[in-house]
Structure 1
Amino acid sequence: MRLTGTLTVPLPPEEALSLFTARGEERWADGWRPRFPVPTEDDTEPGTVFETGAHGEATVWVVLGRRSGRSISYARVTPGSRAGTVTVTLEPAGERGEASEVTVTYDLTPLTGEASRELEEFAAGYPAFLASWKAAIEAFLSAAEDGSG
């Protein structure tokens, strides 16, 4: 199942991309706590592996590729549930490129019948899912701007 949607972030792509890295997402995504089995300085380095337990599910992630300031892609496997990729691509938005249009594509394969049903539910709520990302990022940036974040 391939799901693609967009959101706008009020930062230029070079700054906004950091919000979609393993450590960057931790700043705004509730419950997102990446764990690196091998110490790593650069969480965008292709081949970097990390694990998450967000939403009560253990997921293993591998950075597949990156384009500085423009995109990052991950492989992700939630054992016994689903596997696939997530790609985040940023393009300048606004008159002077002061914002970013962020395209997020999940390409997931269910590993069980139950996972197939769960993916159908995820697909139905995908626009709301991305809207929640936008709201969380804006709240984080607002708090950071006023010094409370």
Structure 2
Amino acid sequence: MSHRPRFVLDGQLTVDLPPEQAFPLFTAAGERLWGPGWAPVFLADVGDDSAPGTVWRTTSEGRETTWIVVESAPPHAATYARFTPGHSATTVRVRLEAMDAATRVHVGYDVTSLEEAADDDLARFAQDFDDMLAEWQSAIAAITPGLRSS
């Protein structure tokens, strides 16, 4: 058996909201506000989609991914596990740091390829990671005026 590639990625973005308002944007339901095509399907009734043990699925590029909230400490941090059969297993960490009226969001992905067919796709993902976070920042900035507390 050959070893599969693993990519440990860290980056950050800035959200022009305090952590209490920024945190929900990094939950399954909250990402619907700014993530084009993001459509989580919850597998059980959910009162708090940031609660540990919450499970949902997403579909992208014809692949279904199952997500699980592993740890959550609103409004400071959340850790998610995601599994895409025949493709990858990933841990996603989000940590929010208050900065005056804004929030620095630290995002970490630890992704391992499960099959040779996924190796190149994940290498591209790693190469484009910072660009992805820049896109997230722009998408969130576009909806931020409507989210600010008065």
Same fold (TM over 0.5): yes
Same amino acid, percent of matched pairs = 43
What is the TM-score with the length of structure 2 in the denominator?
0.90
2:3 counterpart residue number: none
What is the TM-score with the length of structure 1 in the denominator?
0.91
Structure 2 residues not aligned, in runs of 5+: 1-6
Runs (4+) of structure 1 moved beyond 4 Å? none
Which structure shows the higher strand fraction?
A: 2
Structure 1 residues not aligned, in runs of 5+: none
* 1:45-70: CA deviation from partner (whole Å, max 9, x where unpaired): 10010001134321100000011210
Aligned equivalents of 2:120 and 2:82: distance in 1? 18
Higher relative contact order, chain-length normalized (CA < 8 Å, sep 6+): 2
Alignment of 1:39-118 (within 5 A): 39-93=45-99, 97-118=100-121
Aligned equivalents of 1:83 and 1:61: distance in 2? 10
Aligned equivalents of 1:55 and 1:10: distance in 2? 31
Give the C-alpha shift of residue 145 in structure 1. Answer: 5.9
Q: 1:55 to 1:99 in 2, by over 3 A?
A: farther
User: RMSD in angstroms over aligned alpha carbons?
Assistant: 1.4
Amino acid of the structure 2 residue aligned with 1:64: V
Equivalent position to 2:125, from 109, 119, 122: 122
Amino acid of the structure 1 residue aligned with 2:45: P
The alignment of Structure 1 onto Structure 2 pairs a total of residues equal to 142
